[in-house]
Amino acid sequence: MKKLLILLLCSGFLVVGCSKKKPVEAPKKNVDVLVVKSYNVPYSFDYPALVQGVVDYKVIPRVSGAIYSQLYTEGSYVKKDQPLYQIDPRPYELALQNAKGQLIKDTAAMDNYKIIYDRYVRLYAAEAVSKQDLEMQTINYQAAVGQVETDKALVNDAKLNLEYCVVRSPSDGYIAERQVTVGDMVSAFQTVTNVVNSVNDMYIVFSMPENDRLTIQNALLEKRATVPTDYRFRVDLSLADGTVVKDAGYVQFTDTRINLTNGVWNMRAYVDNTTLRNQLLAGQFVHVFLHGLTYDNAFAIPQEAIARDDSGFFVYIIKDGKAVKQKVEVGHMQEGLWQIKSGLSDGMQLVKAGGVKLAEGDSVVVDNTVNQANTNPSNPIEASAPAAVTPPKANASDYVPNPSQRAVKIESNADIYDGQY
């Protein structure tokens, strides 16, 4: 009986032991992998900008008065010294007559003092008058001579003011919209309109924030990046209708100091407007894209591959079939790609898609693999502008202005531009 009981107990343990389940493994998670490769990563900046004429003169009268007549048509082409406005000359004609009358009067007085002076010279020689009397007449005569010279200057000044009643163009060019009309009172040195020297050569004026400037300079100091000599960035333009023009020009000027008013770095690009079929007009707003900054031997990875927690940015890399967290230091983000300053090395298998559902140590199944070494590393990041229209033109640095090539018909004998800045 005891043996039977022992046998039944052993059988029960065997049954219980055989019915115990094995632990279930977590399902592997499907991911896409990017095998990273360092390369020279280009980066572009974009800013709002204003179009200006290369030479934009202000038309400013030199005398005050009422506008008597307008002698030009707005938007027309004018030549240097061509009359634009006539200021009412009558007050200045009267001033000239008054100055001439005063000159005649004082000239007569001078002649009289000269006669008296000559007489005293003879009397002094005959010892008929004292030296003091002669000196007094000498002073009177010299004062009269000085007054006549003053009157002559006043006559010339009155003549000049009368000439200034005709307001002339300071340069050859296209004249802008007027700011005054016939009958308006204008003051000396008040701008009444502008003359754009040429519509073929344009400046794009913009400002770079201090933060961007420091980013560039720090990268250069750390020898992580390169920029064109003298910051001669290539320029793309985006127009108001969405048209984008590639390689429209180049940065020609960078200021030597930061603007004290708004803390920005003023810059200016040159654009050959003839290659744009003279689409640009002075005063037009555009968007400028600067190209030329390149991060040397850097990494650029898709935005969806990067995550962030309390400790900072990280990515998942694949090691032995499992997901492993890898901390990274990020830089710029452009066109959906983050520049990575540190944390990656060539050949790392980076989880490109599917990382949002991963945790440290998860087993993974790779669905797709893209190797950056097999892609085109010379063009990983395009400018943040849409697809562009590239006009046929040579490099901007090789451009030599040709005043004979103009999209707008002008007078054939107009001396507009001599090819010199």
CATH code of the domain covering residue 375: 2.40.30.170
Residue 120 domain-assigned (yes or no): yes
273 and 310 part of one domain:
yes
103 and 203 part of one domain:
no
Residue 14 domain-assigned (yes or no): no
CATH of the domain at 135: 1.10.287.470
Pairing assessment for the beta strands 65-70 and 83-87 based on DSSP bridges: antiparallel
45 and 121 part of one domain:
no
Residue 408 domain-assigned (yes or no): no
Residue 12 domain-assigned (yes or no): no
368 and 246 part of one domain:
yes
- Please check whether residue 348 is in contact with residue 36, taking contact to mean a CB–CB distance below 8 angstroms: yes
Note the pLDDT tens digit of each residue in 85-129: 999 999 999 999 999 999 999 999 999 999 999 999 999 999 999
Residue 238 domain-assigned (yes or no): yes
Adjacent-strand bridge partners of 264: 209
The first and second tokens of residue 306, run together, are 């990067």
206 and 189 part of one domain:
no
Residue 407 domain-assigned (yes or no): no
142 and 235 part of one domain:
no
Q: Give the whole-angstrom CA distance, residue 23 versus residue 17.
A: 15
119 and 178 part of one domain:
no
pLDDT of residue 5: 52
172 and 43 part of one domain:
no
Note the pLDDT tens digit of each residue in 380-390: 433 333 333 34
- Please check whether residue 63 is in contact with residue 188, taking contact to mean a CB–CB distance below 8 angstroms: yes
**Residues, the chain, total?**
421
Residue 418 domain-assigned (yes or no): no
183 and 210 part of one domain:
no
The first and second tokens of residue 63, run together, are 């005398």
pLDDT of residue 9: 52
Task: Give the Å distances, CA to CA, from 63 to 9, 160, 269.
Answer: 125, 10, 36
Residue 252 domain-assigned (yes or no): yes
The CB-side HSE value for 403 (13 A sphere, CA atoms) comes to: 16
Q: How many domains does the chain have?
A: 3
pLDDT of residue 75: 86
Q: What is the pTM of this model?
A: 0.58
282 and 156 part of one domain:
no
Q: Give the whole-angstrom CA distance, residue 274 versus residue 280.
A: 9
Q: Give the whole-angstrom CA distance, residue 191 versus residue 118.
A: 55
248 and 321 part of one domain:
yes
pLDDT of residue 339: 86
372 and 237 part of one domain:
yes
Which structural domain, as residue segments, surrounds residue 191?
A: 57-87+167-195
Per-residue pLDDT of the chain (421 residues; tens, 9 = 90+): 555 555 555 555 444 455 455 555 667 888 888 899 988 888 889 999 999 888 778 899 999 999 999 999 988 889 989 999 999 999 999 999 999 999 999 999 999 999 999 999 999 999 999 999 999 999 999 999 999 999 999 999 999 999 999 999 988 888 888 899 999 999 999 999 888 777 788 999 999 999 899 888 888 898 888 988 888 999 999 999 988 999 999 999 988 888 888 889 999 999 998 888 888 888 899 999 999 998 888 898 888 888 888 889 999 999 988 889 999 998 878 878 888 888 999 989 989 866 667 888 888 888 888 888 766 544 443 333 333 334 433 333 333 333 333 332 222 222 322 333 2
CATH of the domain at 174: 2.40.50.100
pLDDT of residue 393: 39
